[in-house]
Amino acid sequence: MKKVIIWAGLALSSLTLIVIARTNLFLADKHETSLHSSKVAATSPAPTASWTKKPTSSVPASRSAATATVPATPTAAPSETPATAAAPTQHHVQIAGIPALSQLPELPNGCEAVAATMLLNWAGLPITKEEVADALPKGDMPYENEFGAFVGSNPKDVFVGDPYEAGYGIYHTPMAKLMNQWLPGHIRDLTGTSFEDLLDVLAHGSPAMVWATEHMDTPYWDLEWEDEDGELVEWYQPEHALLLTGWDDDYAYMNDPMTGEQEAYPLEDFHKVWELMGSQAITIIS
Output the pTM of the full model. 0.70
- The per-residue pLDDT for range 113-143, each reduced to its tens digit, is 999 999 999 999 999 999 999 999 999 999 9
pLDDT at 89 over 60: yes
For residue 186, CA distances in Å to 127, 137, 162, 176, 180 come to: 16, 20, 27, 10, 7
Looking at residue 49, its pLDDT comes to 34
Residue 159: closest CA among 112, 114, 115? 112
Which top CATH class is 94-284? Answer: alpha beta
pLDDT at 40 over 90: no
Q: What percent of the chain has pLDDT over 70?
A: 69
Q: Which has the higher per-residue pLDDT, 270 or 26?
A: 270
Quote the crossing angle between the two packed helices 195-203 and 267-276, to the nearest 10°.
120
- The per-residue pLDDT for range 160-214, each reduced to its tens digit, is 999 999 999 999 999 999 999 999 999 999 999 999 999 999 999 999 999 999 9
Q: Which has the higher per-residue pLDDT, 5 or 210?
A: 210
